[in-house]
Chains A and B, each alone.
Chain A
């Protein structure tokens, strides 16, 4: 169905499947050699279509389940995710053309499908019906117990001791199993070369596709939508068809118990792009949403800062060349270019501009604010000057309120879903009983919670903080003027602030320690910490990431001066 090649004979795109799993053109009945070796996005239970691996002739299992492979599961996950993105307004080509092709390419490269001999030479599918004792006797394979106790970042279920203990009891007679055919194989093999699929990686796929079509959605936004529940991630397996039984090791793969982290998804995305041998991505130009000029505008609005600051962000962007097409556009596999985090970069630019204009050393900005306040009191004509102090108070208040809400939500997350998860048949009844008790307790105490009902999912929105000019209480600073902090020098507007302090004089080696700098709150001014905290909240990432980008920008900006190896400690004259 999503095989889009034109027929060699009649040039139509109208394919069907033969019984043998081959494509044939419905218009002219030309049969191709291409075999369909992986089930479509729509799951077909015709097991003859699934011709991976050798000679597993088992049809439907006795419990009404059927055979399915891990990659089919991931395919379903991706499908659900991209449908959700479509519902959010993403263009449909993303699903039908881009993501689909990426996925197929991945399957091919990782030899899970679309090739002659998928790399499952000895797919010893450990299913319920088989009792294979080979697992323990093979000295090279890590034992399943060891496997289960591996702590992997994507599956945190290893701490389930009851599982481990039940395994150890039955290690001889029956084997641990998975509902899928290749669950155990999936986890056991050293997949470093082949980039094994994980749940966080599904988001990497999504983002890769979003980037290709240059949708106006940043990675931090994507992850926020995931956490807010607009994009399926947690418990997405409950949408698997009934016949795809999920148990045992499948849980380790599909059941996540932590929210994905920006860095993880970001790095995997780049690995993936290189792995798939993708060409240069479509250009990110000035009119593109992801361009720092655009993102800065958005973030300035959201941070309730004056629009006039935008001139300054553009100037910084231009000066250090981070608005160039070649800098911004993704070139997979190119190790020399720095990987760009568009959202973090834009936020960092704003921070640098604030430092340029206000210094943010816990003294100067308040001083400037006092001057502005005086001026505003005495002269109400021509619009107010921007007062840092007022801005700080207004934003801090809102930020605190939102942060408190967010913290409470985090504590109230419900991780489990209705679909029961069990590792083995032995503890199935126990699991079901527990589930029932949990539901009972939830009902009982839910009633006592008073009128507070489970809040409806908020509508997905791009802005978390919003400020309206119509508010007469002066809590919106978009229109405020920067005149109070600027001066004219030979026809150019420059900052009154003559100083600047570098976050760090020397950058770390990112490849060695993972960061450009190490942020510790106590070592920096409170105002700086506040500003980092603001963007940290908006982007839902740790302040240290923004700090890294700030360091990078500063070093680009003051490159010449740094090269001269000035003797001053950390204060430079501009």
Chain B
């Protein structure tokens, strides 16, 4: 009916918001500010039935504009954030946190710390209990900043060496920062979540003070507790810790195995393959082959000479020993339809040869074994290599002629 087309307050503000959105997406900060100026009077209307109210809109949009606008200064930004904090108790801590992030981005560590302390001491009836999670986060970030201070003190300490008195004060400060940081960091990582930064810092602290067992416990929890979201980094941290501690290969392998399952293209797969290749157990070596093949399935690895050298070493070794050719066959089976175009095209042969001779060498070796010495890649690279009178290419040619492997077909 006629009322649908009536222009009213609500529709007018909706239209205003869509103009703001367009302006933000196109980074037209002046234009966004212009429309926001018209939007702010929405604060005087009650929108409690809406999902996102005008106060939240204004906070988020205003933050973006003030952060990016060329004429905006940090002082205005801070002033704005303070206003936003008063706009709604339910959002107070969130606004505080975001304000802190911006201060940190701007390098104002001290101000950020002050804000965090202030926010931590905020009390507001039942809201304090409801916003318990936000408070924990705030405490965690304060702990993080304490860690940064600890780090700084540690650095000073180590640089001075044995300087006597000056060190004592520094040392004491350092320890006090440690205590403050540890308390808060420990708390937050108890809650299921993704806390990479906190975990790393906490483990660093623990290791420094020799609390290796606790560190191990923390990392195990973080990696293996099913309540925590699946996080590849957790396994990376664990692996790195175990390596630092000089743990057995077995534990290293079990840490990396999960990483391989979650992220087969992870950069640590090279390490993994290296460890596995050296293993005495057959199953492990086969797994190693699996791992390196899986990594090279990803386009990010196409030109990784190290990865190719891992693969080439292993397949060469298998060919020479004439044992376990079926391993290669198994891996090649699912790849023979697409790897030739993906890795071993003539175009790539030319390019690899031009850009990176080592890479082309390793790849040629693999290509020769998998596709035979008559394949495009091998022929081209080998020819070029011999023409250039490079020794290893001649050796390669000899090797192929002697063993004449051909997994494919």
25 contacts between A and B (CB under 8 A): A159-B45, A161-B48, A162-B46, A162-B48, A259-B7, A261-B3, A261-B5, A411-B12, A411-B16, A411-B35, A411-B38, A413-B7, A413-B12, A414-B38, A415-B41, A434-B43, A434-B44, A435-B44, A440-B83, A442-B37, A444-B76, A446-B37, A448-B33, A448-B72, A449-B37
Task: Using known A-B contacts A161-B49, A445-B37, determine if residue A437 contacts B87 with beta carbons closer than 8 Å.
Answer: yes
Is B40 interfacial (CB-CB < 8 Å)? yes
Question: Number of contacting residues on A, CB 8 A?
Answer: 41
Which positions 371-395 of chain A face chain B at CB distance < 8 Å?
none
In the complex, chain A residues whose CB is within 8 Å of the CB of B10? 156, 257
* Complex CA–CA separation, A258 to B9 (angstroms): 6
* Complex CA–CA separation, A153 to B8 (angstroms): 11
Is B58 interfacial (CB-CB < 8 Å)? yes
Are the C-beta atoms of B62 and A431 separated by less than 8 Å? no
How would you classify the secondary structure of chain A's contact residues: helix, strand, loop or mixed?
A: helix
Task: Using known A-B contacts A258-B6, A440-B83, A448-B69, determine if residue A431 contacts B44 with beta carbons closer than 8 Å.
Answer: yes
Contact of B1 among A434, A440, A514 (CB under 8 A): A514
Is A410 interfacial (CB-CB < 8 Å)? yes
Contact with A along B15-26 (1 / 0, CB 8 A): 110110000000
Is A172 interfacial (CB-CB < 8 Å)? no
Task: Using known A-B contacts A156-B8, A438-B43, determine if residue A261 contacts B2 with beta carbons closer than 8 Å.
Answer: yes
In the complex, chain A residues whose CB is within 8 Å of the CB of B34? 412, 445, 449-450, 452
In the complex, chain B residues whose CB is within 8 Å of the CB of A413? 7, 12, 38
Chain A proximity of B141: nearest CB distance (Å)? 27
Which positions 426-464 of chain A face chain B at CB distance < 8 Å?
431, 434-435, 437-438, 440-442, 444-450, 452
* Complex CA–CA separation, A311 to B267 (angstroms): 83
Is A12 interfacial (CB-CB < 8 Å)? no
Interface centre among B9, B10, B86 (most CB of A within 10 A): B9
Are the C-beta atoms of A444 and B46 separated by less than 8 Å? no
Task: Using known A-B contacts A415-B41, A445-B36, determine if residue A257 contacts B76 with beta carbons closer than 8 Å.
Answer: no
In the complex, chain B residues whose CB is within 8 Å of the CB of A446? 33, 37
Are the C-beta atoms of A448 and B71 separated by less than 8 Å? yes
Contact of B2 among A264, A414, A444 (CB under 8 A): A264
Contact with A along B69-95 (1 / 0, CB 8 A): 101100010011001001100000000
Is B30 interfacial (CB-CB < 8 Å)? yes
Which 5 A/B pairs are nearest by Cβ-Cβ distance?
Answer: A258-B8, A448-B33, A411-B15, A449-B34, A450-B30
Are the C-beta atoms of A542 and B5 separated by less than 8 Å? yes
Contact with A along B27-67 (1 / 0, CB 8 A): 00111011111101101111011000000001000100110
Task: Using known A-B contacts A161-B49, A411-B15, A441-B83, determine if residue A416 contacts B7 with beta carbons closer than 8 Å.
Answer: no
Chain A proximity of B20: nearest CB distance (Å)? 9
Interface residues, chain A, with chain B CB atoms under 8 Å away = 153, 156, 159-163, 257-259, 261-264, 407-408, 410-416, 431, 434-435, 437-438, 440-442, 444-450, 452, 514, 542
Chain A proximity of B391: nearest CB distance (Å)? 68
Task: Using known A-B contacts A441-B40, A446-B37, determine if residue A161 contacts B46 with beta carbons closer than 8 Å.
Answer: yes
Chain B proximity of A268: nearest CB distance (Å)? 12
In the complex, chain A residues whose CB is within 8 Å of the CB of B49? 159, 161
Contact of A411 among B6, B8, B19, B44 (CB under 8 A): B19
Are the C-beta atoms of A438 and B8 separated by less than 8 Å? no
- CB-nearest residue of chain B to A260: B6
* Beyond known contacts A258-B8, A448-B71: 20 more, CB 8 A cutoff: A259-B8, A261-B6, A262-B2, A264-B2, A411-B35, A411-B38, A414-B38, A414-B41, A415-B9, A434-B43, A437-B43, A438-B43, A441-B83, A444-B80, A445-B33, A445-B36, A447-B71, A448-B69, A449-B31, A449-B37
* Complex CA–CA separation, A148 to B375 (angstroms): 84
Interface residues, chain B, with chain A CB atoms under 8 Å away = 1-3, 5-10, 12, 15-16, 18-19, 29-31, 33-38, 40-41, 43-46, 48-49, 58, 62, 65-66, 69, 71-72, 76, 79-80, 83, 86-87
Task: Using known A-B contacts A412-B38, A442-B40, determine if residue A448 contacts B29 with beta carbons closer than 8 Å.
Answer: yes
Are the C-beta atoms of A412 and B16 separated by less than 8 Å? yes
Interface centre among B7, B18, B38, B65 (most CB of A within 10 A): B38
Chain A proximity of B337: nearest CB distance (Å)? 49
In the complex, chain A residues whose CB is within 8 Å of the CB of B45? 159-160
In the complex, chain B residues whose CB is within 8 Å of the CB of A444? 76, 79-80
Contact of B33 among A159, A162, A264, A449 (CB under 8 A): A449
Are the C-beta atoms of B9 and A156 separated by less than 8 Å? yes
Chain A proximity of B50: nearest CB distance (Å)? 10
In the complex, chain A residues whose CB is within 8 Å of the CB of B79? 444
* Complex CA–CA separation, A445 to B33 (angstroms): 5
In the complex, chain A residues whose CB is within 8 Å of the CB of B87? 437
In the complex, chain A residues whose CB is within 8 Å of the CB of B62? 441, 445
Chain B proximity of A347: nearest CB distance (Å)? 17
- CB-nearest residue of chain A to B41: A416
In the complex, chain A residues whose CB is within 8 Å of the CB of B1? 514
Chain B proximity of A431: nearest CB distance (Å)? 7
* Complex CA–CA separation, A448 to B80 (angstroms): 13
Are the C-beta atoms of B12 and A415 separated by less than 8 Å? yes
- CB-nearest residue of chain A to B2: A263
In the complex, chain B residues whose CB is within 8 Å of the CB of A411? 12, 15-16, 18-19, 35, 38
Chain A proximity of B82: nearest CB distance (Å)? 11
Chain B proximity of A59: nearest CB distance (Å)? 33
- CB-nearest residue of chain B to A446: B37
In the complex, chain A residues whose CB is within 8 Å of the CB of B3? 153, 261
Chain A proximity of B81: nearest CB distance (Å)? 12
* Complex CA–CA separation, A431 to B46 (angstroms): 11
* Complex CA–CA separation, A434 to B12 (angstroms): 20
* Complex CA–CA separation, A246 to B6 (angstroms): 26
In the complex, chain A residues whose CB is within 8 Å of the CB of B5? 261, 542
Chain B proximity of A368: nearest CB distance (Å)? 34
* Complex CA–CA separation, A384 to B300 (angstroms): 67
* Complex CA–CA separation, A373 to B406 (angstroms): 76
